Amino acid sequence: MEVSYYHCLQTPVFSRRGRVKFSGGFKYGCGNNKKSHFQVLACTPVADKGLSFEKKDALIRHGNQAKFMTAIVVGQYVETLLASVKWDDKGLAVAIAQNVDTGAILMQGFVNRDALATTVSSRKATFYSRSRSQLWTKGETSMNFINVHDIFVDCDRDSIIYLGKPDGPTCHTGAETCYFSSVSKLLEHPEDKKDTLAMTTLYSLETTICERKDEISRQTEGKPSWTKKLLLNEKLLCSKIREEADELCRTLEDNEDKSRAASEMADVLYHSMVLLALKDVKMEDVLEVLRHRFSKSGIEEKKSRNHKTRDQPSC
Amino acid sequence: MEVSYYHCLQTPVFSRRGRVKFSGGFKYGCGNNKKSHFQVLACTPVADKGLSFEKKDALIRHGNQAKFMTAIVVGQYVETLLASVKWDDKGLAVAIAQNVDTGAILMQGFVNRDALATTVSSRKATFYSRSRSQLWTKGETSMNFINVHDIFVDCDRDSIIYLGKPDGPTCHTGAETCYFSSVSKLLEHPEDKKDTLAMTTLYSLETTICERKDEISRQTEGKPSWTKKLLLNEKLLCSKIREEADELCRTLEDNEDKSRAASEMADVLYHSMVLLALKDVKMEDVLEVLRHRFSKSGIEEKKSRNHKTRDQPSC
């Protein structure tokens, strides 16, 4: 079977030393046999189901060279997906990588057909570098891959979300995400050069609580805030958590209004997060626990079943 | 003072009827006076501080027409910002609108210099339409504006996040966000045409709980899940919330390990969210309460101080 450029999962390039190099940067030994096989990275559950990718013996051509290999070819539904994207005049679409637990936007790049197909197959966020004119998988140098759990295409079909879990900081600067320059701060405090990560409400609150904890260890002066008081008094903190949980229950038992329930839940969350700060536990860790318990995806569901304890109800 | 195209906040276009139309779609009366003034939409707190924008009498030129107006010109730091962005060969950068409370990616568009300056000034997410070659403010037709709280630029300075709060659904289809086509679903259940919003862990769990609630009202058959049992038994639910809050406290009091604290917090969150589902309260509402209490931005802080009750501690 002849496999065209478009059908091949990754574009193989034959090096002078008889090795197969992939545009994604991975290398596979090829040997000297006329009929040789190469390993393809990440045999995903999707590939296992045979829905999107199939393993086939295939003749791969490149320049004057041609070799038989066990190739993975794109299946019907991936073809449908790739054909449905509105690629721009350069054959590209925008791809945004987002942390599945925290919602943080990790980075944004561009993808072409091959980059998207590679991500679907390998489940590692892969982009097309416009400056280097080649595919690159985030993490191929730093090993901080972004493990993609699902991919979403927007209503115009020209913008893509890679929803996944990063192995470590995403930015080449070592920052958690690439977005750490706040315009508001530039305008209001232009002299302050400290980075400010783009953070949504929950993580902004978590950061504030952690800052208060750091201030305690640095013994800064001034009237202590409520958060500091809680951090310094475990008995007070625990009595507040129990009290707020009780008040949340009362909004249901006493049929109080919705705004009261939202307010009490906010109290439960805030006080519990102060406790988490004392225990050095991140909300991201908590959400990861919830994802493993309740995620509907096949792999996650299995993990959840295998590791379930008495405290982990099914949903 | 002569104001160049680049220095003017919005590009004014003189219509045949002697009115000033802005590329963002807003219209302002101009009168017949030689020296006339126009109102500029949204005098933001940033503008009040005089840091980023200044009101000045300015001569605005367009074609053969020239009029004196009170214009708002971009100040020093906005100029610094605009100059620091790496605009592509078409003068554009990617802009992603994200919900500040939920972290949901609402939409993605492109911005040019004017679109970004307009967003900084008006605090309404504004983009550049490549198909119509003009600025457009999200919501100018639907009134579902995205109220921008902060803007972040990435490490490469060619990608921007508008972090804000939408007035309503963002997508023109009426969906909450523009991302509702899941590739995993396409590959695993190609026959299922139902939309699947891109959702992070917390909102995915919230959706699952709401689905269980809907199933109860539809009286579907099958063994009830734990969530359904809780939804049907308020006494059991409240006893579980109090119990889990107590167990969370014990992880601190009894010096239990971090994984235990994360697990107990996951229990507190999950059971509390079942209660919220019964009360028809969304996690987004809870996070909005927390943002109003704890946000550091000037406006939010004032609101928090003005509306604070005994249950709303400062951070």
DSSP B70-105: EEEEE-HHHHHHHHHS---TTS-EEEEEEETTT--E
Cα–Cα distance measured from residue B110 to residue A158, given in angstroms and rounded to the nearest whole number: 12
Same structural domain, A204 and A277: yes
Q: Give the end-to-end CA distance of chain A in Å, rounded to a whole number.
A: 46
Which residues in chain A have Cβ-Cβ distances shorter than 8 Å to B161? 105, 179, 198
Cα–Cα distance measured from residue B125 to residue B36, given in angstroms and rounded to the nearest whole number: 29
Torsions phi, psi for B271 (to 5 deg)? -65, -40
Same structural domain, B253 and B218: yes
The whole-number pLDDT of residue B64 equals 58
Q: Find the domain containing A123 and state its range.
A: 93-166
Per-residue pLDDT tens for B96-117?
999 999 999 999 999 999 999 9
Q: What is the CATH number of the domain that holds A158?
A: 3.10.20.810
A82 DSSP 8-state letter: H
Q: Which two tokens stand for residue A73?
A: 């070819």
Q: Tell me which H or E stretch contains A13.
A: strand A12-14
Q: Do A261 and B281 touch (CB under 8 A)?
A: yes
- Interchain contact B210–A (C-beta under 8 A): no
Which residues in chain B have Cβ-Cβ distances shorter than 8 Å to A267? 311
User: Which has the closest alpha carbon to A30: A13, A7, A55?
Assistant: A13
For B105, the closest of A161, A242, A286 (CB atoms) is A161
Which residues in chain A have Cβ-Cβ distances shorter than 8 Å to B182? 150-152
Q: Which two tokens stand for residue A280?
A: 């050095």
Q: Do B275 and A46 touch (CB under 8 A)?
A: no
Q: Do A281 and B261 touch (CB under 8 A)?
A: yes
Per-residue pLDDT tens for A49-105?
333 455 554 555 555 565 555 555 556 678 888 999 999 999 999 999 999 999 999
The count of domains in chain A is: 3
Cα–Cα distance measured from residue B279 to residue B301, given in angstroms and rounded to the nearest whole number: 28
What does pLDDT average to in each consecutive run of 10 residues of chain A (315 residues)? 33 46 34 32 33 49 54 67 94 98 98 94 94 95 96 97 97 96 85 90 96 86 87 97 98 98 98 98 98 64 40 50
- Interchain contact A1–B (C-beta under 8 A): no
Q: Do A262 and B289 touch (CB under 8 A)?
A: yes
Q: Between vectors from CA B59 to CA B8 and to CA B62, what angle results, nearest 5°?
A: 70
Within 10 angstroms of residue A288's Cβ, the number of other Cβ atoms is: 18
Mean pLDDT of all residues in chain B?
78
Number of H helices, E strands in chain A: 10, 12
Q: Give the end-to-end CA distance of chain B in Å, rounded to a whole number.
A: 46
Within 10 angstroms of residue B247's Cβ, the number of other Cβ atoms is: 19
In a domain? residue A184: no
The answer to whether A19 and A28 have CB atoms below 8 angstroms apart is: yes
In a domain? residue B64: yes
The share of chain B scoring above pLDDT 70, in percent, equals: 69
For B297, the closest of A163, A184, A272 (CB atoms) is A184
In a domain? residue A123: yes
Between B211 and B299, name the one with better pLDDT: B211
User: Which has the closest alpha carbon to B212: B277, B153, B256, B162?
Assistant: B277
In a domain? residue B30: yes
B222 DSSP 8-state letter: S
Is the sign of the CA dihedral A73, A75, A78, A80 positive or negative?
positive
Q: Counting beta carbons within 10 angstroms of the beta carbon of residue A144, is it exposed (0 to 12), middle (13 to 18) or buried (19 or more)? A: middle
Return all residues near A220 (Cβ < 8 A) that are at least 6 apart: none
- Interchain contact B183–A (C-beta under 8 A): yes
- Interchain contact B208–A (C-beta under 8 A): yes
A31-35, A176-180, B174-178, B252-256: segment of lowest average pLDDT = A31-35
Please state the rounded mean pLDDT for residues B70-78. Answer: 61
Strands A27-28 and A20-22: antiparallel
pTM for this one? 0.78
Q: Between vectors from CA A294 to CA A288 and to CA A297, what angle results, nearest 5°?
A: 95
ipTM of the assembly?
Answer: 0.78
- Interchain contact B231–A (C-beta under 8 A): no
In a domain? residue A108: yes
- Interchain contact A277–B (C-beta under 8 A): no
Q: What is the CATH number of the domain that holds A261?
A: 1.10.287.1080
In a domain? residue A62: yes
Same structural domain, B58 and B110: no
B109 DSSP 8-state letter: E
Alpha-carbon distance B21 to nearest alpha carbon in chain A (angstroms): 28
How many angstroms from the chain centroid is the CA of residue B244? 33
In a domain? residue A180: no
**Of A40, A61, A84, which closes a domain?**
A84
The four Cα atoms A168, A174, A176, A178 give a dihedral, to 10 degrees, of -120
Cα–Cα distance measured from residue B146 to residue B125, given in angstroms and rounded to the nearest whole number: 5
Same structural domain, B157 and B222: no
Whose structure tokens read 């490469």? B156
- Interchain contact B211–A (C-beta under 8 A): no
Which residues in chain B have Cβ-Cβ distances shorter than 8 Å to A272? 245, 248, 265, 268
The whole-number pLDDT of residue A7 equals 34
How many angstroms from the chain centroid is the CA of residue A259? 33
**3-class state of residue A109 by DSSP:** strand
Portion 72-111 of B in contact with A at CB < 8 A: 77-78, 80-81, 94, 96, 98-105, 107-108
* Segments of chain B assigned E as strands: 12-14, 20-22, 27-28, 53-62, 65-74, 93-99, 105-111, 126-129, 134-137, 146-154, 159-166, 179-182
Alpha-carbon distance A31 to nearest alpha carbon in chain B (angstroms): 34
In a domain? residue A314: no
